[in-house]
Amino acid sequence: MRTLLGSLIVVAALAPGCFTSSSPTSRARAELARQRALFEQAGLTSYTMTEQQSCFCAPDTTAAMRVTVTDGSVASAVYVADGKTVPANVRTGVRTIAEVFDLIDQQLDDGHTVVTVSYDPVLHYPTVMQSEVPDGLDSGLDISLSDLRAAPAPLSKDACRAIEQAARAEVVPAVDAHVACKVASDCSTERFGASCFESCYAIVGTGGAAALDAALTTVEDTQCKAYHAGGCTLIPPPCVPPATQLYCTAGACTRVPPT
């Protein structure tokens, strides 16, 4: 029994630029080598793509995935439907484009397998591969690759540091505007950091915890996303333990006792 994806592959195999190994094997290999050479000329080793396979396998294996490849290896994979991370045991079966080329080559070595391949006319990667053993019961494997995009170039160290500074600067006003207190119990020590900057702790007064949390949430959704997308890595500074005793002095929260 074939899934809808299998039906689409049969149609794609009839389009120009598609190739089936029902032709002489030498022609199949020549086409594979040509397309692979053209793909490798582009030097695309870091990219994202949508990958889906069709087989008689578990649903978490056949669901469409958005795959990130970094320097030729699968770095991450999430399900297209809900954005959840693909489990590690499933991700081991996710292939890079180079590995799909290898799989096609292996399938061509098997004289009992009929292989149908369609290549992207511009980027030259395999968009569809269908392999099937004639008269085999549910023994086929279909792989679909689409929406290939080059990964953005990593940010420089200076650019990463600039984002760290900008993120911190956006959060500082939430602290500065909330140091007021009437009594010491109005004061608290809160974490002053996000995934793209770290300043350890801040002492805030009335309403400060909520304001700081809101500011950090905004930073995570903006600067921190750009920070991680650019390949930046945070090196947090050493933090001293937070103050255990706070004071309300002259209407402001502080760790310094009044004199």
pTM over the 0.85 mark? no
Strand partners, 78: 66, 85
Q: What is the pLDDT of residues 145-183, one digit of tens each?
A: 999 999 877 889 999 999 999 999 999 999 999 999 999
How far out from the chain centre does Cα 180 lie?
Answer: 42
pLDDT surpasses 80 at 68: yes
Q: What is the mean pLDDT of residues 81-99?
A: 92
Q: How far apart are CA 59 and CA 184, in angstroms?
A: 57
Q: How far apart are CA 133 and CA 224, in angstroms?
A: 49
Domain ranges of the chain: 4-150, 157-254
Picking from 87, 249, 235, 62, the residue whose alpha carbon sits closest to that of residue 142 is 62
Q: How far apart are CA 199 and CA 238, in angstroms?
A: 9
Q: What is the pLDDT of residues 123-149, one digit of tens each?
A: 999 999 988 776 655 567 899 999 999
